[in-house]
Amino acid sequence: MNIRTVATTPFADQKPGTSGLRKKVPVFQQPHYLENFVQSIFDSLEGYQGETLVVGGDGRYYNRQAIQIILKMAAANGFGRVLVGQGGILSTPAASCVIRKNQAFGGIVLSASHNPGGPNEDFGIKYNISNGGPAPEKVTEAIFARSKKIDQYRILEAADVDLDQLGSAKLGDLTVEVIDAVADYAGLMESLFDFDRIHQLLVGGQFRMCIDSMHAVTGPYARAIFEQRLGAPTGTVLNGIPLEDFGGGHPDPNLVYAHDLVQILFGSNAPDFGAASDGDGDRNMILGSKFFVTPSDSLAVLAANAKLVPGYKAGLAGIARSMPTSQAADRVAAKLGIDCYETPTGWKFFGNLLDAGKATLCGEESFGTGSDHVREKDGLWAVLFWLNILAVRQESVKQIVQEHWQQYGRNVYSRHDYEAVDSDRAATLIKQVNNQMPTLPGKKFGAYEVEYCDDFSYTDPVDGSISKNQGIRVGFTDGSRIVFRLSGTGTQGATLRLYLESYEPNVAKHGLDPQDALADLITIADEIAQIRESTGMDRPTVIT
Ligand code: VG1
Ligand code: CO
């Protein structure tokens, strides 16, 4: 066995963002770049000798090459066993499922999620801990600190492992098991949802659905679950073959990037239900016939109807949502008499709440929903949850959401993204808003009066850790909110996210277009942050 210790020098830019380290492929392809980061992960961990590591990714360009490097480094660093998805594939929620089921020490997930893939597009790497969830900040900070000092890494000299053949192989002392990427995950789904009832819905001839996998990782999962197990007609899954460049598309399930699906669901003779997922399968977009469900509403509707679903019929311990997510879920929690937690953006902040049994359902406005079944958000899980509810209630998606609004009022919501803004300009914009923080409370903008303005800080109720500077909130006396935040997942310049929310109890106004209902807040946001002037952009790149 030939283990090489390779001398290296640090890269200054290996700070993990909201969800791991994301860079352009050519950055990752620089000599030692990936190796440095992987060794920094291993150097930050303790006690993994002889233990199991899970490795898989969303199949994007460079996935296979990166996995071969990681396997050889895991062998050289003393792991006992690596479980790797066939073809190098594991969706993010499936990786979480496999880590938990096999009581692995941790996992490495290769994905840049919703960012485009290809030789000049994005790649990413993320470490997940033994609970199956993204490493908490104290771990990602340790990895970053190590990456700034690293001077060597260890790698085994060996031939590549055949990732396409199921079964076991040896890399030095390391056992590499190539596992079915879908089986464990599909089994978990079957244990949570009423597959018989969903099957009846799908084969009854009345109900039609389609799922857009956007040429990303969920294709094989969606085909196995919906077409093979649940009996949906072949062709229900669109773009179901994972491609290294996602067919040139942007695998982000929103109204802008999932335009094929949107055209079908808003076209003539539209199906009853449509869904899309992102590059690594942890996001979802839910559509009814000519109807879009905002992710914030989706979380609230799932929570309100959870008792209809076998896996959740005992009720929910609590609900957690990220700070910028609308407060629709808070209303459901209040009605159910359970706690609602508000966390910073990013799934890593839900892990402790889920582990401690404080929350059962979690959600983010960015098309992310999940529960305590794994420790990642889970796109197809959300689709199944909706289908289970539809099968029981026998109403349309639109009826269910509108009835929800009648009961709870509507939290009108929208997010405006300004992408690829010059980084200095974006920093200046945030600074300018920060400077106004002391003087904004009490200030009037037309009918709106600012009640509070702060930079969101979170104290984890389980371990007491504090995360500061998580987005600037401007709250108004009528409960409306504006939030300003810079993205932590982009790879080009900065992305400004503007989150807008107001509350509308009046049923007669529930049909309004959110952009019209939020028009005043949009103007106020520009007045406070001078967005158009600071970014040099007339309008947002993406509105959801
Ligand atoms: C975005 C979303 C956030 C999500 C993160 C990872 O982060 O806003 O809610 O958790 O992406 O999602 P940011 O920092 O760009 O706003 V993805 O599906 O990695 O997996
Ligand atoms: Co994702």
- Segment 201-247, tens digit of pLDDT: 999 889 999 999 999 999 999 999 999 999 999 999 999 999 999 99
Q: Give the number of the atom of ligand 1 that is nearest the alpha carbon of residue 485.
A: 16
The distance of Cα 122 from the centroid of its chain, to the nearest Å, equals: 16
Kindly state the tokens that stand for 431: 């600074």
pTM of the predicted model as reported, rounded to 2 decimal places: 0.95
Q: Average pLDDT in the 126-148 region?
A: 96
- The confidence score (pLDDT) of residue 204 equals 84
The closest of 448, 419, 421 to 527, measured between CA atoms, is 448
Boundary residue ending a domain (358, 382, 408):
408
Task: Say yes or no: 345 and 471 in one domain.
Answer: no
Considering the domain architecture, whether residues 108 and 175 belong to the same structural domain is answered as yes
What range defines the domain where residue 331 resides?
A: 185-408
Residues 414 and 404 in one domain: no
Strand 167-171 relative to strand 21-24: parallel, antiparallel, unpaired? unpaired
Same structural domain for residues 499 and 352?
Answer: no
- 294-319 residue pLDDT tens: 999 999 999 999 999 999 999 999 99
Residue among 19, 40, 44, 113 flagged as catalytic: 113
Residues 437, 399 within the same domain = no
Centre a 10 Å sphere on the Cβ of residue 356 and count the other Cβ atoms it contains: 14
One domain, residues 269 and 251: yes
Q: Residues 152, 230: one domain?
A: no
Determine the residue type at 6.
V
Which among 296, 323, 366, 375 is the best mutation to test ligand 1's pocket, defined by most ligand atoms within 8 Å of the CB? 366
Closest by alpha carbon to 133, among 356, 374, 353, 320? 374
Q: pLDDT band at 534, cuts 50/70/90?
A: confident
Q: Quick check: CB of 113 below 6 Å from ligand 1?
A: yes
We report the CATH number of the domain holding residue 119 as: 3.40.120.10
Q: How confident is the model over 331-367, as pLDDT tens digits?
A: 999 999 999 999 999 999 999 999 999 999 999 999 9
The CATH number assigned to the domain holding 492 equals: 3.30.310.50
Statement to judge: residues 482 and 372 lie in one domain: no
Q: How many CB atoms lie within 10 A of CB 448?
A: 18
Annotated catalytic residue 113: yes
**pLDDT at 453 exceeding the cut of 80:** yes
Q: What is the pLDDT of residues 17-29, one digit of tens each?
A: 988 999 999 999 9
Residues 177, 41 within the same domain: yes
Element housing 138 (H / E): helix 137-147
Distance from the alpha carbon of residue 280 to the mean position of ligand 1, in angstroms: 12
Position 491 confidence tier, pLDDT thresholds 50, 70, 90:
confident
Residues in the chain: 544
Q: Which residue has the tokens 């994007």?
A: 60
- Nearest alpha carbon, ligand 1 atom 19: 113
What total of structural domains would you count in the chain?
3
Mean pLDDT (whole number) for 137-154: 96
Instruction: Looking at 168-290, list the stretches that DSSP marks H as alpha helix, in order from N- to C-terminal side.
Output: 183-192, 195-203, 218-222, 259-265
Tell me the three state secondary structure of residue 4: strand
CA of 18 to the centre of ligand 1 (A): 6
Answer yes or no: are the C-beta atoms of 42 and 18 closer than 8 Å. no
Query: What integer best gives the mean pLDDT of the chain?
Result: 96
What's the confidence (pLDDT) of residue 490? 77
Which residue, judged by its Cα, is nearest atom 10 of ligand 1? 346
